[in-house]
Amino acid sequence: LEDLLAEGVAGRRVLVRSDLNVPLDGTTITDDGRVRAALPTIRRLAEAGAKVVVAAHLGRPKGAPEPKYSLAPVAARLGELLGAEVRLAGDVVGEQAKSVTGSLADGAVALLENVRFDPRETSKVEAERAELAAEFAALLGEGGAFVSDGFGVVHRKQASVYDVARVLPAYAGGLVLAELEVLSRLTGDPQRPYVVVLGGSKVSDKLAVIEALLPKVDKLLIGGGMAFTFLSAQGHDVGASLLEADFVGTARKLLDEHGDKIVVPVDVVVADRFAADAATDTVGAEAIPAGWMGLDIGPRTVELFAAEVAGAKTVFWNGPAGVFELAPFAAGTRGVAQAIADSGAFSVVGGGDSAAAVRLLGLPEDGFSHISTGGGASLEYLEGKELPGVAVLGEGD
Ligand code: 3PG
């Protein structure tokens, strides 16, 4: 980004790929963290006189416009935060996009409609993505440039993330650079003890990262829905809790090989159904009643996790410990987050959900060294995978 600013951007159209994939309740943004994180790069370009064209996705529409995935609420929020109107084009690269970007004043900001409304964005066929990328470039005209600032999507080989960087002069944005700098401290030589707290619903989603992290960490604390597959592997009956039966064997193998590092819940909050007004109880991890489901870690587990975290020098946390969106099942996530904030360790919160939990539960954001905007992207980075949206920036234009 600094290179581009040094070249001068006044009067040039600059396409910025941001990750504005925010949680919505209808048309209300429940956590605008990603919009806020996208601001600095957009603002710097606008202040330098660029005509800023922002591209982003929302959710996973199936390659066609769907009103519930419109970026309209995001354009409004972005405008409020910038203190200037952000015009939303009603399409991705169509007539509206051409007219909105064509009439953009120097220093003004426009947002294209959800790039995933165009099936070429996520196409597996490179030629299709390249065609869309060329249309993005055509919107910009002479002097156009691309800034990759959507850290949360750099693990996706998609037209507005990857292919467009091959047809335009491409630069890494400040957010992408800052995220990579922080995460590289975890993969380099982290200060020990290095404790990782993982949660979220599925073991299958996290298996690769678990396998990559185990040799590097001192402790791996497992909460969230995925913990029940591990409890099942220990021979416990998990009732109606989330269980990935196909992964019990893998979980057992991990426990056999790394039992000294892996810490699983010793108690859980169970409910008779998945609802905020369900009947609940707190039981030992070995005593989940038939037909009941575990929806949070229990207080003894919070204490156990907090004790591990308290002694750590480096902590990475990804994935909520329970269904924190429902009040009766929020205490585990809150307790773990608080323990991390209190630990004084170099702490990184990775992931859309855990970052949202920090803010929705009203925890002090400054209690953490870094709250990443990337969910899948930060996990893939820690797995040691190449991030296509970053690698492509090194390839020249
Ligand atoms: C995220 O929410 O992790 C990013 O916005 C990427 O979204 P995706 O998983 O739908 O590609």
> Which residue from 216, 151, 155 is spatially nearest to 370, judged by alpha carbons?
151
Given this model, what pLDDT does residue 397 score?
41
Is the distance from CB of 348 to CB of 316 less than 8 angstroms?
yes
Q: Report CA-CA distances (Å) from 34 to 27, 66, 74, 359.
A: 16, 21, 10, 12
Q: Which ligand 1 atom is nearest residue 156's CA?
A: 11
Q: Give SS3 for 297.
A: strand
* Same fold for the pair 2-178 and 189-383: yes
Please give the distance, rounded to the nearest whole angstrom, from the Cα atom of residue 351 to the centre of ligand 1: 10
**Helix residue spans in 267-393 (DSSP H):** 299-310, 331-343, 352-360, 376-383, 388-391
Q: Which residue, by CA, sits nearest to atom 7 of ligand 1?
A: 153
The CB of 152 under 6 Å from ligand 1? The reply is yes
Q: Which CATH class is domain 189-383?
A: alpha beta
Fold exhibited by the domain 2-178: Rossmann fold (3.40.50)
**Is the Cβ atom of 375 under 6 angstroms away from ligand 1?**
yes
Strand order in the sheet with 267-271: 280-284, 267-271, 293-297
- Tokens 């995001």 correspond to 74
The answer, yes or no, to whether any atom of ligand 1 lies below 6 A from the CB of 156, is yes
User: What average pLDDT values come out for the chain (397 residues) when binned by 10 residues?
Assistant: 94 98 93 95 98 97 96 98 97 98 98 98 98 98 97 97 98 96 92 95 87 94 97 97 96 95 98 97 98 98 98 95 95 96 94 83 88 92 93 75
Is 114 marked within a binding site?
Answer: no
Q: Which two tokens stand for residue 257?
A: 């090989």
CA 226 to centroid of ligand 1, rounded, Å: 20
Burial 193-209 (b: 16+ CB within 10 A, else e): bbbbbbbbbebeebbeb
Tokens read off for 48? 């330098």
pLDDT of residue 286: 97
Length of the chain: 397
95-102 and 126-140 are packed helices; what angle lies between their axes, rounded to 10 degrees? 30
pTM: 0.89
Domain coordinates in residue numbering, the chain: 2-178, 189-383
Residue type present at position 200? G
59 pocket-lining for ligand 1 (C-beta < 6 Å)? no
Q: How far, in Å, from the CA of 203 to the mean position of ligand 1?
A: 18
57 CA distance to ligand 1 middle (Å): 8
Q: Is the ipTM of this complex over 0.95?
A: yes
The annotation status of 352 as a binding-site residue, yes or no, is: yes
Is 21 touching ligand 1 by the criterion CB < 6 Å?
A: yes
Q: What is the pLDDT of residue 395?
A: 67
The catalytic site residues sit at 34, 202, 352, 376
